[in-house]
């Protein structure tokens, strides 16, 4: 009986972990001109929509001591920035082609997406 309960509980926990990490729907934030992205346990907002051929300013503000988040990398735009704690870091993009472009932390554990339309 005890083993049965542990098994059921374990299966439930696995399903819960799956739902918690993979079941969330990312809210897409449309950016007109500029946006502040808070770096705290990931990127908030995580998915942003920007216009093609327009200059967009992203201001990253790191509030998390996790050293993984100290580097911000946007590979498709060849951008790598060090984010000092509590210091806004401004990045200007002028995307010329549409698509989804990822950005992530130094060790590629936290991710965000720039959707160019």
Partner 1 sequence: MTKVSFPIVGMHCASCARLIEKKLNKTPGVATAAVNYGSEQATVNYDSSVSTLGDLGSIVSSLGYKAVIATESGKTSDDIKEEIKKKELLNLKRKVTGSAVLTILILLGSLNHMLGSLIHALPSWLSYLELPPAALLILTIPVLFWAGREFYLATWSGLKNRAASMDTLIAIGTTAAFGYSAALTLFPAQMETLGFPMTMYYDVAAVVVTLILLGRFFEAKAKSHTNDAIKKLLHLQAKTARVLRLRSSRPELAEGPPSTMGEMIEVDIPINEVVVGDHIRVRPGEKIPVDGTITEGTSSIDESMVTGESIPVDKKSGDRVIGSTINKTGSFVFRATSVGSQTMLARIVKMVAEAQSSRAPIQRLADTVSSYFVPVVLMLAVATFVGWYVFGGFAAAFTNMIAVLIIACPCAMGLATPTAIMVGTGRGAGMGVLIKDAESLEIANKIKAAVFDKTGTLTQGKPVVTDVVPPTILPIAAALEKGSEHSLADAILTKAQGMSLANVTNFKAIPGQGISGTIARKQYVFGKPKKSYPQLEEQGKTVMELSTGNTTLGYIAVADTLKPEAKEMVSTLTKNHIHVWMITGDNERTAAAIAKQAGIENILAGVLPDQKAEKIQELKVHSSSFIAKQNEKSSSVNHEPSTVNRIVAFIGDGINDAPALAAADVGIAIGTGTDVAIESAGITLLNKDLRSVVSAIKLSRATLRVIKQNLFWAFGYNIILIPVAMGILYPMFGVLLNPALAAFAMAASSISVVTNSLRLKRVKIN
Among the listed residues 19, 25, 47, the one whose alpha carbon sits nearest the alpha carbon of residue 35: 47
20 binds partner 1 (CB under 8 A): yes
75 binds partner 1 (CB under 8 A): yes
> In the bound complex, what is the minimum distance in angstroms from residue 86's beta carbon to partner 1?
4
28 binds partner 1 (CB under 8 A): no
Q: H/E/C letters for each residue in the chain?
A: CHHHHHHHHHHHHHHHHHHHHHCCCCCEEECCCEEEEEECCCEECCEEEECCCCCEEEEEEECCCCHHHHEEEEHHHCEEEECCECCCEEEEECCCCCEEEEEEECCCCCEEEEEEC
Binders of partner 1 among residues 93 to 112 (CB under 8 A) are 102, 104, 106-111
Binding partner 1 (rule: CB under 8 A), the pick from 27, 78, 96, 97 is 78
115 binds partner 1 (CB under 8 A): no
80 binds partner 1 (CB under 8 A): yes
Rg (C-alpha) for the chain, rounded Å, is 18
Where does this chain bind partner 1 (CB under 8 A)? 3, 6-7, 10-11, 13-14, 17-18, 20-22, 24, 36, 40-42, 44, 46, 59, 61, 64-68, 73-76, 78-80, 82, 84-88, 102, 104, 106-111
């Amino acid at each position: 009986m005890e083993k049965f309960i542990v098994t059921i509980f374990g299966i439930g926990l696995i399903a819960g972990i799956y739902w918690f990490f993979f079941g969330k729907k990312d809210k897409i934030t449309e950016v007109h001109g500029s946006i502040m992205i808070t770096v705290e346990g990931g990127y908030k907002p995580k998915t942003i929509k920007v216009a093609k051929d327009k200059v967009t300013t992203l201001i990253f503000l790191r509030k998390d001591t996790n050293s993984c988040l100290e580097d911000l990398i946007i590979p498709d735009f060849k951008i790598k920035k060090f984010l000092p704690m509590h210091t806004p870091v401004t990045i200007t993009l002028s995307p010329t082609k549409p698509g989804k472009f990822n950005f992530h932390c130094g060790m590629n554990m936290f991710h965000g997406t720039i959707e160019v339309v």
